[in-house]
């Protein structure tokens, strides 16, 4: 029987942990599933999180600091970023100071740059799961941290700095059994994501307009951006539904009753969690071929992967519209088969159990190499 481990985790202080269901916090949601599984497997878990956090059978170290509740994705003031980073550095440095108490420490951060400077002071191995992309400007800095143990959430995420010490790629997973599998969807398509330019909401609107189909937009967005780029285009066919509570009946219903999920992303997203959530319900996805998309989807089997740029280097809206029309014009039997393919694809490759089992195996592997 393998030794039970003492594991410490840290993610963010924007909210309590586990995070509330009325906000988008993909990295915290994923960490929660891993933490929950490790507790169920009998490991001793400590979570460094904001005051008010609570999780059964886990120790919480809160430093008596409440959540700062501010998301710099929507608030552009410089002090918001400074506050967020100050919280991270404070918690991470305290965790490193206590590292002699643990067998392994696991950070879930956008980028590991805030934790890596402290690694050399740790008394146990540290693993970073990266939830955002690196950008080339980090190059000179990353030369100092080439030995840091990194988990990528897709192989595409590694491309900017391919020579770093990636010890595994572990894809996100979902509880497939919780997602209603629906073979009789409505005719509408959905955009369910952060409502922003990089997520491609403007192109989703254009695609719906050109295809003459109904589009329901779900998700939070910056107020100024919404007023300028989304609200002026609403009509009887295009509606903005706002943020819906994760894992609510309405949330599952939005995915399961949709004809297709549109992902016209304008950045190289490291992992599109919404794609596996939609496919778990049997809902196909149409997405630009950027970032992790070709790793998550199977072109023509679970939807369509579209060339992202036209010959002029602009977003390939024409190709995206063609894919939408092709899906809507599919014979019923072919479309139903695609919905079955979606569900089976997630059951095989993107389950919470698969994700958490791979993490446990990796912890033991790291500790074996450490000795």
Q: What is the pLDDT of residues 315-351, one digit of tens each?
A: 999 999 999 999 999 999 999 999 999 999 999 999 9
Confidence band for 300, pLDDT divided at 50, 70 and 90: very high
Regarding predicted confidence, which is higher, 24 or 122? Answer: 122
**What residues make up the domain containing 153?**
6-173+351-370
**Is 194 in contact with 225 (CB distance < 8 Å)?**
no
Q: Is residue 122 part of a domain?
A: yes
Confidence band for 278, pLDDT divided at 50, 70 and 90: very high
Q: Is 257 helix (H, G, I), strand (E, B) or coil?
A: coil
Query: How much is the CA Rg of the chain, to the nearest whole Å?
Result: 21
Q: Is residue 237 part of a domain?
A: yes
**Mean pLDDT throughout 71-86?**
74
Dihedrals phi, psi of 242, to nearest 5 degrees: 75, -170
Q: Is 212 in the same domain as 123?
A: no
Whole-number average pLDDT of the chain: 93
Q: Is 162 in the same domain as 21?
A: yes
Rounded to 5°, angle at Cα 12 from 122 and 133: 85
- Burial-class residue 11 by CB neighbours within 10 Å (0-12, 13-18, 19+): buried
Q: Is 104 in the same domain as 251?
A: no
What are the structure tokens assigned to 253, written together? 């219903």
pLDDT at 73: 61
Q: Is 35 in the same domain as 59?
A: yes
DSSP code, position 323: H
Q: Is residue 1 part of a domain?
A: no
Give the H/E segment covering residue 286.
strand 285-288
pLDDT at 83: 84
| Residues 116, 127: Cα–Cα separation, whole Å | 10
**Mean pLDDT throughout 169-173?**
98
Cross-sheet strand order for the sheet of 260-263: 238-242, 215-218, 189-192, 260-263, 285-288, 303-306
Q: pLDDT for 312-324, tens place per residue?
A: 999 999 999 999 9
Cross-sheet strand order for the sheet of 58-61: 58-61, 44-48, 6-10, 104-109, 126-130, 149-152, 166-169
Q: Is 130 in the same domain as 35?
A: yes
- Does residue 115 surpass a pLDDT of 80? no
Q: Is 27 in the same domain as 73?
A: yes
SS3 labels along 157-220: HHHHHCCCCEEEECCCCECHHHCCCCCCCCCCEEEECCCCCCCCHHHHHHHHHHHCCCEEEECC
Q: Is 220 in the same domain as 365?
A: no
pTM score, two decimals? 0.94
Tell me how far the alpha carbon of residue 21 is from its chain's centroid: 15
Which residue's structure tokens are 């594991």?
A: 7
Contacts of 298 (CB under 8 A, 6+ apart): 341, 345
What are the structure tokens assigned to 299, written together? 């072109």
Q: pLDDT for 28-47, tens place per residue?
A: 999 999 999 999 999 999 99
CATH number at residue 241: 3.40.50.2000
**Is 173 in contact with 350 (CB distance < 8 Å)?**
yes
Q: Is 50 in the same domain as 134?
A: yes
- Please choose, from the candidates 176, 164, 151, the residue with its C-alpha nearest in 3D space to the C-alpha of residue 270: 151
Least confident of 72-76, 112-116, 274-278, 301-305: 72-76
- What's the total number of domains in the chain? 2
């Amino acid at each position: 029987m393998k030794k039970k481990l003492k594991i410490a985790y840290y993610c963010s202080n924007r909210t309590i942990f586990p995070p509330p269901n009325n906000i988008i916090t993909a990295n915290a949601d994923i960490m929660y599933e891993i933490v929950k599984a490790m507790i169920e497997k009998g490991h001793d878990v400590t979570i460094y999180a904001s005051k008010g956090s609570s999780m059964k059978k886990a120790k919480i170290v809160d430093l008596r600091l409440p959540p700062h509740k501010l998301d710099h994705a929507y608030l552009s003031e410089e002090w918001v970023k400074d506050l967020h980073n100050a919280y991270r550095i404070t918690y991470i440095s305290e965790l490193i100071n206590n590292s002699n108490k643990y067998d392994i420490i696991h950070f879930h951060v956008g980028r590991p740059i805030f934790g890596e400077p402290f690694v050399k002071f740790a008394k146990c191995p540290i693993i970073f799961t990266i939830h955002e992309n690196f950008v080339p400007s980090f190059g000179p800095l990353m030369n100092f941290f080439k030995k840091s143990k990194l988990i990528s959430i897709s192989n595409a995420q590694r491309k900017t700095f391919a020579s770093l010490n990636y010890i595994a790629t572990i894809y996100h997973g979902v509880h497939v059994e919780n997602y209603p599998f629906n073979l009789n969807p409505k005719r509408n398509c959905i955009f369910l994501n952060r409502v922003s330019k990089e997520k491609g909401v403007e192109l989703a609107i254009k695609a719906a307009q050109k295809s003459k189909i109904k589009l329901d937009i779900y998700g939070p967005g910056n107020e100024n951006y919404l007023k300028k780029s989304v609200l002026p285009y609403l009509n009887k066919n295009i509606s903005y539904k706002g943020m819906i509570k994760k894992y609510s009946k309405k949330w599952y219903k939005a995915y399961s009753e949709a004809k297709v999920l549109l992902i016209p992303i304008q950045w190289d997203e490291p992992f599109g969690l919404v794609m596996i959530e939609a496919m778990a319900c049997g809902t196909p996805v149409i997405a630009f071929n950027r970032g992790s998309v070709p790793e998550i989807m199977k072109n023509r089997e679970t939807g369509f992967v579209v060339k992202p740029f036209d010959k002029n280097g602009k977003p390939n809206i024409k190709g995206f519209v063609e894919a939408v029309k092709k899906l809507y014009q599919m014979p019923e039997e072919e479309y139903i088969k695609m919905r079955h393919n979606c569900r089976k694809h997630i059951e095989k490759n993107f389950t919470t159990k698969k994700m958490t089992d791979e993490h446990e195996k990796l912890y033991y592997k790291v500790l074996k190499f450490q000795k």
